[in-house]
Structure 1
């Protein structure tokens, strides 16, 4: 005789709980788990400090790099502010025929067979409105020096009349004064360290024909590499190259007509206002945009940091679960199911991950601001424009830290949910 299971009347089945009720129970369960985690954090201070240290350190390092990189990226307006100083525009002669340029004059198209050999200040003045002033600047000139009987490496030099009012905002003076004579020179801090010469010292040319007296320590904000500054005689000497520019002071604003007039005569213009649109806009540098290589590097570094946190913090959570066996068993006796036991352990990872992320990001931002002068001089070798952070990157770093805390507590949470209640109450494994 075969017994068939009798079907249960529909009215005897337990009613399905509404979705809103299940959500409220889940929220309440997490709230209770977070309260238990907060109590455990204050009770086990040694383990809490260890876990936080392992979470905070990589978050601090990543936040420091992100904030420093964001401050180091200058937009075209900030770059132009460093390049112009008190001038209205920067002119660069690149051709004897018409040229096209992008908005800030950093990219241009010019016929390669029509590059002029020399250009004088009078040539520039003829292209500008009346009452304009011009200051020539020659950059990256080799300065061969000799130290006793030993030849030094060439130091790049900038030839400009820094005593001219037009150059007042071009450099920053740290010590002494700017050169006012042909036998005087100023150095930046990197060149002073490289040459071992301070204000009042003497630099000798490699051929022994002349020498210069160091009269000041100045810097060009756009380049902190070793550099010397010589007094300009007023006209660029020697052949013209693309590193020879002319700073101009105009009687009026830089207009679109002036842009086009100078471009027709082979002059590239850099000004605080954007140049008229041209075909070169299509190849304009992307500025603050990130390339695939930078994104891939960031993902790799973030992934390695996440893996490091999970591998180091996971054992600490496992030790905490073993020490809390009786507490977790009491939760099970009080009616807690396996999911609630997992939430109790996962809440430790969520809470410590949030605390570590907040502390690491805050310390990373503060350390980036504090170390900014050193990072400018020894890493990026140019001055930053302003203090700012990178909210998107910091948000991702914080989320990765929280995720790392949760993943580190995941395996101990599953272990805690599978332990025997009686063994936990007795304190046995």
Structure 2
């Protein structure tokens, strides 16, 4: 019994191997039909691969997010309460066991007093908005940030295209998108919406987490009405943020975001990342696009396989005369789908990855509005896309095979 099963298995493997060799030879001989089928399989694979690779590069790792948030700083502090707090590992959530009293306005000297000797702090407001006059119209809610880009701690957050950092409250730096939206040039002047004050544009700078129209103000500038009420503080320490410093800052109501996670607290604090970044809408769209691509391949490639079978009737008849049965003939036709599906998958994956890497600057600027992380692929998604492409080739050849 076992020997019989082994013989049948060996026979099936040998039959499939011969069918794949015949399909490969036929693909080389019928180059026109092969090119048509490959194009119809490759295009959906290329599009799905381009989307998957771009999406994977856009999702920053924890280290990349921390690097983008801190720049060259050792930590970012936010004084949230006048009493002890408990925070999550990365300073993205906090709670207090007592009635919370807001910290209110704090100074750099007060923050530095909680840090080791030799530490340095720089204020940062990430959300500042104001109105600006552009010709005869007023641009509402222009996004901005207030940070000293001349300081190494502040400069580490941005990348300069040209010019220099604002040196006082009457100077600003703008992003390339802000140059277009506000219709200004380096050396020009930007006026507030009510015309009460103006700033000279001294630099062009971009933030990797926002490629939109962003204006950078000097910290000495009067805080606009649309700014966040309290700044955060970028910190340069003589050492690292150890457990003792975490405890001391939390005991004074200071939320800490450092390069290393905070030590566990007695109270479990759940941050936003605890639930995972599940993009249900994006996943649904991907599944829909993948399903439509599979359906398109099956519907368009099926007739091409049917034409190929009709043109190969003589070859298939010779196989039948040589002792091949219906199963052997079906395997030969299905092997066409396997071979062309695999070739289309390999070609589409290679072109899709190359296109995603090459078009990355355009996708960052015009689709996502942020700079991506490192150059990387999404292996699981690419394997799934390749499997779907091969499956589509087999399904397209299924009807001609049974006919």
Aligned equivalents of 1:286 and 1:361: distance in 2?
A: 33
TM-score (norm 1): 0.88
Partner of 1:260: 247
Shift in Å at residue 287 of structure 1? 8.0
Aligned residue number for residue 229 of structure 1: 216
Cα distance in 1 for partners of 2:269, 2:359 equals: 36
Deviations 1:72-93 (A, max 9, x none): 1112221110111111100012
Matched, 1:364 2:352: yes
Range with greater deviation from structure 2 (233-242 or 98-107) = 233-242
Q: SS in structure 2 opposite 1:270? A: strand
Give me the whole-angstrom Cα distance separating, in 2, the residues matched to 1:288 and 1:83.
Answer: 19
* 1:302 to partner: Cα distance: 2.1
Secondary structure, counterpart of 1:223 in structure 2: coil
Conserved? CA contact 1:93–1:245, under 8 Å: yes
4+ residue runs over 6 A deviation: 234-240
Q: How does 1:61-140 map to 2 (within 5 A)?
A: 61-110=47-96, 113-140=100-127
> What secondary structure sits across from 1:301 in the alignment?
helix
User: 1:101 and 1:292, CA in 2 relative to 1: closer, same or farther beyond 3 A?
Assistant: same
1:59 counterpart = 2:52:
no
Check conservation: 2:46, 2:351, Cα contact below 8 A.
yes
User: Is residue 2:287 matched to residue 1:299?
Assistant: yes
Rate the CA distance shift 1:141–1:126 in 2: closer, same or farther, 3 A: same
- Within 1, Cα distance between the matches of 2:41 and 2:183? 43
Match of 2:190 among 196, 203, 209: 203
Q: Distance in 2 between matches of 1:309 and 1:398?
A: 13
Q: Report the secondary structure of 2:263's partner residue.
A: coil
Q: Are the counterparts in 1 of residues 95 and 269 from structure 2 also a CA contact under 8 Å?
A: no
Report the structure number with the largest CA radius of gyration.
1
Could you tell me which of 245, 254, 273 is aligned with 2:260?
A: 273
The offset of 1:259, in angstroms, is 0.8
Q: Partners in 2 of 1:172 and 1:103 — Cα distance?
A: 28
| Compared CA separation, residues 288 and 322, structure 1 to 2 (3 A) | farther
Q: Which deviates further from its counterpart, 282-291 or 102-111?
A: 282-291
Change (3 A) 1:283 1:91: closer
- In the alignment, is the contact (CA less than 8 A) between 1:138 and 1:236 conserved in 2? no
- Deviation string 1:315-352 (CA, Å, 9 cap, x unpaired) is 11111111111111111111110000001100110000
Q: Is the 8 A contact 2:83 2:100 kept in 1?
A: no
Contact kept, 8 Å, 1:55 with 1:309, in 2: the verdict is yes
**Unaligned segments of structure 2, at least 5 residues:** none
Per the alignment, do residues 158 and 283 of structure 1 end up closer, same or farther by CA in structure 2, a change over 3 Å counting?
Answer: closer
Residue 280 of structure 1 and its aligned partner are, at CA, apart by 4.3
Within-5 A mapping of 1:279-294: 279-286=267-274, 290=278, 293-294=281-282
Q: TM-score, normalised by structure 2?
A: 0.93
Once the two structures are superposed, the pairs formed by residues 130-279 of structure 1 within 5 Å of their partners are 130-233=117-220, 241=228, 244-278=231-265, 279=267
Change in 2 beyond 3 A, CA 1:197/1:235: closer
TM-align CA RMSD: 2.3
Unmatched segments (≥5 aa) in structure 1: 1-14, 416-429
